[in-house]
Chain A
């Protein structure tokens, strides 16, 4: 079996970030991992060294994987030797995203995002914080 060649005439990518991959060419395996704490604050105050991934189980918990026990006789017949794309325009590849022009064996990507929102609340109000949220919503 001969491999297929990917032909792309023109590609424009604006942004590749947070452990993403943009690869031109063949590879064996691509396994990007991205962990992120997405913090939103009512006021602009951010220290550069904040956050500890170990404090949140979401970053360490094992993820369920699809197990394929059945044996599959896989036959691939490539009638055409190439895949042709004229033009690709991508704004952003982010958080373990994979953009590959070429062939590989395994792609195994994982991204974990923990959202935290911090609001100041109303110091003059005597209603509880949760009621306060409803009043704002």
Chain B
């Protein structure tokens, strides 16, 4: 497959961002490849009700 990109002039005045978070990218420039993964786990088991027990320590 042949893939050609022609980059013309880019001129941006103002950028306002609250958050770039959890494997996100804000790029002013060029890159060949971007690979982003974000895992977010909130299963029902993660809700613990009862007497306080500290988390296991490493």
Binding site for B on A (CB under 8 A): 3-4, 6, 8, 20, 26, 32, 34, 37, 39, 41, 43, 45, 47, 49-56, 58, 61, 63, 65-66, 70-80, 83-121, 129, 132-133
Q: Are B56 and A55 in contact (CB under 8 A)?
A: yes
What residues on B are CB-neighbors of A50 within 8 Å? 54-57
Given A77-B5, A115-B41, 18 more pairs with CB closer than 8 A: A26-B29, A72-B3, A76-B4, A89-B15, A93-B19, A98-B26, A100-B27, A100-B28, A104-B31, A105-B33, A106-B35, A107-B27, A107-B31, A111-B39, A112-B39, A113-B22, A118-B48, A129-B50
CB distance from A28 to the nearest CB of B (A): 10
Tell me how far the C-beta of A137 lies from the nearest C-beta in chain B, rounded to whole angstroms. 11
The number of residue pairs between A and B whose CB atoms lie closer than 8 Å in the complex comes to 231
With A87-B14, A107-B34, A107-B35 already in contact, the answer to whether A129 and B49 are too (CB < 8 A) is yes
**How long is the Cα–Cα vector from A113 to B6 in the complex, in angstroms?**
39
- Chain B residues at the A interface, C-beta cutoff of 8 Å: 1-42, 46-52, 54-58
C-alpha gap A73/B1 in the complex (Å) = 6
CB distance from B49 to the nearest CB of A (A): 4
Contacting pair A92 B21 (CB below 8 A): yes
